[in-house]
């Protein structure tokens, strides 16, 4: 049998190559097989190498908190473990640029606007896929001294308030607030002539200290129960759109809690309740959705106050 190969002509005809002419039949067969193998090898398209997707960074930043005290405003960068960082001051816009190598971001918006304070305007974050690092920019309202404090669950950045002359050597605590003395409003009752004299019921004292916050999720609403040492006066309330939240400021109320407290809520009305003590008030924030920003009410009780976020009562 004589070996044949396909020559690349439009007609696709089979011809015996000239190189095989004059060779013995067996040698021609072997050379024909070799020639066919070469053509098959060169005709295969090379496949690009398969590379595995880049692994996620070992460190992940999951949240930002802000804490305000009489002396300072602090930003807490929450992670599962300590963070390595580089801090670079910036003039325009004014702020501090943090680089976290080997760190990613999880579940964070590109910008976070903390409650009004004299130091921090915004916290902006981004993740670099090429350099495998997270970048956080703290936009400042004005220049002030600060201290970075490593933590086992992230990082704390404490800024001294410009109006405060004293310096601090560690993260300022938000405890140690002197409680205001209990004030009981005087009660007077007008007694009409001819009616039996009855002792006037003493009104419930005005609360000075918040002791407990509980949530109750219902089908049509979420109840936020504030327990205190008396009646909690209704709060100053304002709402924010991005992200949607209802902010309650209880002026003159102190708290038995240290630091920001967070209570997750599984409801379409409220996803989380946060409260934090300031020197002159307690701030409670209900994280909600934009369509529920006006669906709230407050009702003082003898031992606190109940906030309802939900469908209006008929």
The model's pLDDT over 127-151, given as tens digits with 9 standing for 90+, comes to 887 778 899 999 998 888 888 888 8
237, two tokens? 């309330």
Please indicate, yes or no, whether residues 146 and 223 belong to a single structural domain of this protein: no
Residue 307 — pLDDT band, cuts 50, 70, 90? very high
Is residue 9 one of the residues assigned to a domain? no
Residue ending a domain, choose from 160, 180, 199:
160
pTM: 0.40
Q: What is the pLDDT of residue 203?
A: 62
Q: What is the pLDDT of residue 270?
A: 95
The arithmetic mean of pLDDT across residues 195-215, rounded, is: 70
Q: How many domains does the chain have?
A: 2
Residue 176 — pLDDT band, cuts 50, 70, 90? very low
Per residue in 41-65, pLDDT tens?
Answer: 554 545 555 555 556 677 899 899 8
DSSP state of 141: S
Q: Between residues 269 and 44, which one has the greater pLDDT?
A: 269
Is residue 47 one of the residues assigned to a domain? no
Q: What is the CATH number of the domain that holds 294?
A: 2.60.40.3500
Contacts of 300 (CB under 8 A, 6+ apart): 231, 232, 233, 234
Q: What is the pLDDT of residue 160?
A: 87
Domain that holds residue 272: 209-310
Is residue 15 one of the residues assigned to a domain? no
Is residue 56 one of the residues assigned to a domain? no
Residue 154 — pLDDT band, cuts 50, 70, 90? confident
Is residue 71 one of the residues assigned to a domain? yes
Is residue 261 one of the residues assigned to a domain? yes
The arithmetic mean of pLDDT across residues 180-187, rounded, is: 36
Rounded to whole angstroms, the Cα distance separating 82 from 139 reads: 23
Please indicate, yes or no, whether residues 151 and 77 belong to a single structural domain of this protein: yes
Q: For Cα atoms 283, 289, 292, give the angle at the middle one, nearest 5 degrees.
A: 85
- Give the containing element (helix H, strand E) for 127: strand 120-128
Q: Are strands 272-278 and 296-301 parallel, antiparallel or unpaired?
A: unpaired
Q: What is the pLDDT of residue 314?
A: 58
Q: What is the CA radius of gyration of the chain?
A: 36
Please indicate, yes or no, whether residues 148 and 222 belong to a single structural domain of this protein: no
Please indicate, yes or no, whether residues 153 and 216 belong to a single structural domain of this protein: no
Residue 59 CB coordination number (10 Å): 19
Residue ending a domain, choose from 128, 160, 192:
160
Please indicate, yes or no, whether residues 220 and 290 belong to a single structural domain of this protein: yes
Please indicate, yes or no, whether residues 213 and 304 belong to a single structural domain of this protein: yes
Query: What average pLDDT is seen over the chain?
Result: 76
Q: What is the pLDDT of residue 249?
A: 92
Please indicate, yes or no, whether residues 146 and 213 belong to a single structural domain of this protein: no
Residue 77 — pLDDT band, cuts 50, 70, 90? very high
Is residue 172 one of the residues assigned to a domain? no
Please indicate, yes or no, whether residues 72 and 142 belong to a single structural domain of this protein: yes
Question: Which of the residue ranges 180-184, 187-191, 206-210, 219-223 would you say has the lowest mean pLDDT?
Answer: 180-184
Percent of the chain with pLDDT over 90: 28
Q: Between residues 20 and 269, which one has the greater pLDDT?
A: 269
Residue ending a domain, choose from 100, 134, 160:
160
Q: What is the pLDDT of residue 313?
A: 64
Contacts of 58 (CB under 8 A, 6+ apart): 102
Is residue 21 one of the residues assigned to a domain? no
Overall residue count recorded for the chain in this entry:
314
């Amino acid at each position: 049998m004589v070996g044949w190969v396909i020559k690349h002509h439009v007609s696709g005809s089979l011809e015996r190559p000239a190189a095989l002419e004059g060779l013995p039949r067996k040698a021609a067969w072997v050379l024909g097989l070799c020639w066919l193998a070469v053509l098959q090898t060169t005709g295969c398209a090379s496949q690009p190498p398969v590379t595995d997707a880049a692994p996620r960074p070992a460190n992940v930043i999951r949240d930002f908190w802000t804490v305000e005290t009489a002396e300072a405003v602090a930003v807490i960068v929450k992670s599962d473990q300590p963070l390595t960082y580089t801090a670079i001051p910036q003039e325009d816009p004014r702020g501090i640029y943090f680089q976290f190598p080997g760190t990613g971001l999880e579940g964070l918006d590109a910008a976070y606007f903390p409650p009004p304070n004299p130091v921090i305007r915004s916290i902006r974050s981004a993740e670099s896929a090429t350099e495998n690092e997270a970048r956080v920019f703290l936009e400042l309202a004005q220049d002030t001294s600060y201290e970075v404090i490593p933590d086992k669950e992230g990082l704390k950045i404490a800024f001294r308030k410009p109006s405060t002359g004293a310096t601090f050597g560690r993260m300022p605590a938000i405890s140690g607030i002197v409680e205001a003395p209990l004030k009981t409003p005087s009660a007077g009752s007008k007694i009409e002539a001819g009616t039996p004299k009855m002792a006037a019921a003493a009104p419930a004292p005005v609360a000075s200290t918040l002791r407990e916050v509980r949530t109750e999720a219902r089908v049509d609403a979420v109840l936020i129960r504030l327990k205190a040492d008396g009646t909690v006066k209704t709060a100053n309330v304002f709402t924010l759109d991005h992200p949607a939240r209802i902010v309650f400021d209880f002026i003159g109320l102190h708290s038995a809690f240290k630091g920001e407290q967070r209570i997750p809520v599984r409801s379409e009305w409220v996803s989380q309740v946060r409260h934090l003590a300031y020197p002159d008030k307690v701030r409670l924030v209900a994280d909600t959705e934009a369509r529920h920003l006006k669906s709230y009410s407050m009702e003082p009780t003898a031992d606190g106050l109940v906030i309802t976020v939900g469908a209006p009562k008929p």
